[in-house]
C-alpha cells in the first residue's frame, strides 16, 4: 500500500521530512512549515503560506476610504488599533485634514494599550511553546482588563475599528480613566511576578539563550523589524525615526539589545511593555478637551497620487501604500506587514538547531498568521 519512501517520509539524502502545520499547536494558526530533519536537528525550514489568504488588498480596492480600514483589523488581529491607525494616517495625508489634539492622544493611548495586550499575549504563548502552561493564563488575566477597556470605549474586544479618517469614532467612555489607572496599578504588581515565573527561570534561560541567533546585518537583509530586529541591535522603531501622532511629544526609550537570540527578543518585549505603560502613564492624566474627530466630508475622495504611511505595530513596521486615481475607492492598496519579513528569517535562524529550538525561535518572532497571509 505504501512505498518505503512514503512510509518513513525521507528524501533522497535520507533526511526525514516532517510537516509542521497547517494544523499544529506550535504555529498558532494555519502556517505550514516543511521541515527537513536529520534526527532531531533541523536542516531546512520552508514556510508555506496561503491557507488563510483572503485577498484583503484586492478587497480594499472595492471599498471606500472609510470602509477599507475595517478590513485591516482582520490582518494583525492582535494590534488592530495600530493597523487602523496606519491606514487612517495614509488617508489623512491625502485629505490634508488637521487631527484634533484629543483624537491624537486617544489614538496613542489605544495604540499603546494594544501593544501591551499583544506583548502580554505573546509572553504567555512563548512560555507555552517552551512548555510552561501556567503563564498563558496569567497573561490572559491582564489582557482581559485591556479587552474590557476596549469593549467599553470601542464597542468591540478584538477588531475594534475605532480609528476613522480624521480622528476616532467615539469619545472615550467615562470609565476609561479609572480603568486604565487600575490597569497600570495591576501591571506594577504583576510584572515582577512575570519575571519570577519566566524571566529568571533557569530552564527558560537555558532554552532561549543563544537560540535562534541572527546578526544585525542578517536582520536588515531579511527586512526584519520591530522587537525581533531591535534584539539584534537594529534601531528601527518607527515611533522614534518617523514619529507620528503624539510620539514625538512623549518620553520613551527605544529598547535595543545586541545579543540577537531568543532571550534578547524576549527581554526587548518585556522592556517594551514597561515603556508602553510609561507612555500611557504620561498621557492618561493629560487628555486635552475638545473634539474627538475632525469634520470630514461624507464621501471621501483622495486626490490623484500615491500615499504612504508607516506605523510601529507590536510586531514591527506596518506600511500602507495607497494609489489613488481620484475616485471614491483606492485604485491599488499594498500593505507591508512585519510578520512576513520576520518569518522569512526563520530558516536562517534555525538551521542546525533542534526541533525544540525551532519552536522557541518561532514563538519569539511573534508571528500572527493572518498578518503574514493576507
Partner 1 sequence: MISFSEIASSVHQWLNSHLSPAWVLTVEMVIVGVAAIALFALLGLVLVIMERKVAAYMQIRLGPNRVGPKGMLQSTADTVKLLVKEGITPAGADKFMFNLAPFIAMITAMLLLAPLGFAKDFQIWDLNIGVLYVTAVSSLSVIAILMAGWSSNNKYSLLGAMRSGAQIVSYELSAGLAIMTIVVLTGSLQLSEIVESQRNGWWIFKGHLPALIAFVIFIIAVTAETNRAPFDLAEAESELTAGFHTEYSGMKFALFFLAEYINVFTVCAIGATLFLGGWMPFHIGNWEGFNHVMDYIPSSIWFFGKTFFLIFVIMWFRWTFPRLRIDQLLDLEWKYLLPISMFNIILVTVIAIYHLHG
Q: What are phi and psi of 42, to 5 degrees?
A: -80, 125
| CA dihedral (274, 279, 280, 285) positive or negative | positive
Q: Which window, 20-28, 47-55, 115-123, 334-342, contacts partner 1 (CB under 8 A)?
A: 20-28
CA distances from 13 to 5, 40, 193 (A): 11, 16, 48
Does 129 sit near partner 1 (CB under 8 A)? Answer: yes
Q: What are phi and psi of 20, to 5 degrees?
A: -100, 110
Does 156 sit near partner 1 (CB under 8 A)? Answer: no
Of residues 203 and 328, the one with the C-beta less far from partner 1: 203
> Which member of 154, 359, 367, 372 binds partner 1 (CB under 8 A)?
359
Torsion of CA 138, 139, 144, 145, to 10 degrees: 90
CA distance 183 to 141: 11
> Can you tell me whether residue 314 is helix, strand or coil?
coil
CA distances from 39 to 10, 16, 27, 353, 355 (A): 11, 7, 21, 11, 10
> Which member of 5, 62, 134, 185 binds partner 1 (CB under 8 A)?
134
- Minimum separation from the CB atom of position 13 to partner 1 (A): 16
Does 131 sit near partner 1 (CB under 8 A)? Answer: yes
CA distance 201 to 221: 33
> Which member of 46, 58, 178, 203 binds partner 1 (CB under 8 A)?
203
- Pattern of binders to partner 1 over 315-354, x per CB under 8 A? ---------------------------------------x
Does 112 sit near partner 1 (CB under 8 A)? Answer: no
- Minimum separation from the CB atom of position 239 to partner 1 (A): 32
Does 133 sit near partner 1 (CB under 8 A)? Answer: yes
> Which member of 115, 119, 207, 265 binds partner 1 (CB under 8 A)?
207
Which residue, among 77, 186, 82, has the nearest Cα to 139 in the 3D structure? 186
> Which member of 7, 251, 286, 298 binds partner 1 (CB under 8 A)?
7
CA angle 312, 277, 158 (to 5 degrees): 60
Q: Which window, 7-15, 175-183, 228-236, 366-374, contacts partner 1 (CB under 8 A)?
A: 7-15
Bond from prior residue into 331 cis (ω within 30 degrees of 0)? no
- Minimum separation from the CB atom of position 26 to partner 1 (A): 5
Does 1 sit near partner 1 (CB under 8 A)? Answer: yes
> Which member of 5, 25, 178, 306 binds partner 1 (CB under 8 A)?
25
| CA dihedral (337, 229, 266, 182) positive or negative | negative
Does 9 sit near partner 1 (CB under 8 A)? Answer: yes
Looking up cell 525544540 gives 356
Of residues 300 and 367, the one with the C-beta less far from partner 1: 367
Of residues 75 and 128, the one with the C-beta less far from partner 1: 128
Residue 193, Cβ density class (10 Å: 0-12 exposed, 13-18 middle, ≥19 buried): exposed
Does 274 sit near partner 1 (CB under 8 A)? Answer: no
> Which member of 107, 115, 138, 143 binds partner 1 (CB under 8 A)?
138
- Minimum separation from the CB atom of position 130 to partner 1 (A): 4
CA angle 153, 147, 171 (to 5 degrees): 10
Does 261 sit near partner 1 (CB under 8 A)? Answer: no
Binding site for partner 1 (CB under 8 A): 1-2, 7-9, 16, 18, 24-26, 40, 127-134, 136-138, 141, 197-198, 201, 203-204, 206-207, 354-357, 359, 363
Amino acid at each position: 500500500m505504501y512505498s518505503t519512501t512514503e512510509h518513513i517520509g525521507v528524501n533522497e539524502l535520507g533526511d526525514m521530512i516532517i510537516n509542521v502545520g497547517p494544523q499544529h499547536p506550535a504555529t498558532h494558526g494555519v502556517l505550514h512549515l516543511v521541515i527537513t530533519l536529520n534526527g532531531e536537528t533541523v536542516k531546512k525550514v520552508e514556510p508555506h503560506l496561503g491557507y488563510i489568504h483572503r485577498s484583503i488588498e484586492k478587497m480594499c480596492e472595492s471599498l471606500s476610504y472609510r470602509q477599507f480600514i475595517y478590513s485591516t483589523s482582520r490582518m494583525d488581529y492582535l494590534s488592530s488599533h495600530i493597523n487602523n491607525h496606519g491606514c487612517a494616517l495614509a488617508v489623512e495625508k491625502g485629505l490634508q485634514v488637521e487631527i484634533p489634539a484629543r483624537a491624537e492622544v486617544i489614538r496613542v493611548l489605544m495604540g499603546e494599550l494594544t501593544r501591551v495586550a499583544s506583548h502580554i499575549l505573546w509572553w504567555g504563548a512563548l512560555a507555552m511553546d517552551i512548555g510552561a502552561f501556567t503563564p498563558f493564563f496569567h497573561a490572559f488575566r491582564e489582557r482581559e482588563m485591556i479587552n474590557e477597556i476596549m469593549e467599553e470605549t470601542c464597542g468591540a474586544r478584538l477588531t475594534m475599528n475605532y480609528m476613522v479618517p480624521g480622528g476616532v469614532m467615539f469619545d472615550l467612555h467615562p470609565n476609561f480613566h479609572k480603568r486604565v489607572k487600575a490597569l497600570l496599578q495591576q501591571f506594577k504588581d504583576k510584572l515582577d511576578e512575570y519575571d519570577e515565573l519566566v524571566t529568571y527561570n533557569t530552564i527558560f534561560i537555558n532554552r532561549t539563550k543563544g537560540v535562534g541567533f541572527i546578526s544585525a546585518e542578517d536582520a536588515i537583509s531579511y527586512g526584519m523589524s520591530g522587537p525581533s530586529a531591535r534584539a539584534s541591535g537594529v534601531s528601527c522603531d518607527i515611533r522614534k525615526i518617523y514619529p507620528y501622532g503624539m510620539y514625538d511629544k512623549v518620553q520613551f526609550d527605544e529598547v535595543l539589545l545586541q545579543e540577537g537570540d531568543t532571550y534578547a527578543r524576549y527581554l526587548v518585549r518585556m522592556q517594551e511593555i514597561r515603556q508602553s505603560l510609561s507612555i500611557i502613564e504620561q498621557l492618561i492624566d493629560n487628555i486635552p478637551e475638545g473634539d474627538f474627530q475632525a469634520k470630514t466630508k461624507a464621501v471621501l475622495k483622495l486626490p490623484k497620487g500615491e500615499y504612504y504611511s508607516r506605523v510601529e505595530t507590536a510586531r514591527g513596521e506596518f506600511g500602507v501604500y495607497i494609489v489613488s486615481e481620484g475616485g471614491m475607492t483606492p485604485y491599488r492598496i499594498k500593505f507591508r506587514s512585519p510578520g512576513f519579513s520576520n518569518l522569512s528569517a526563520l530558516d536562517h535562524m534555525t538551521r542546525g538547531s533542534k526541533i525544540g529550538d525551532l519552536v522557541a525561535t518561532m514563538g519569539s518572532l511573534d508571528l500572527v498568521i493572518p498578518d503574514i497571509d493576507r
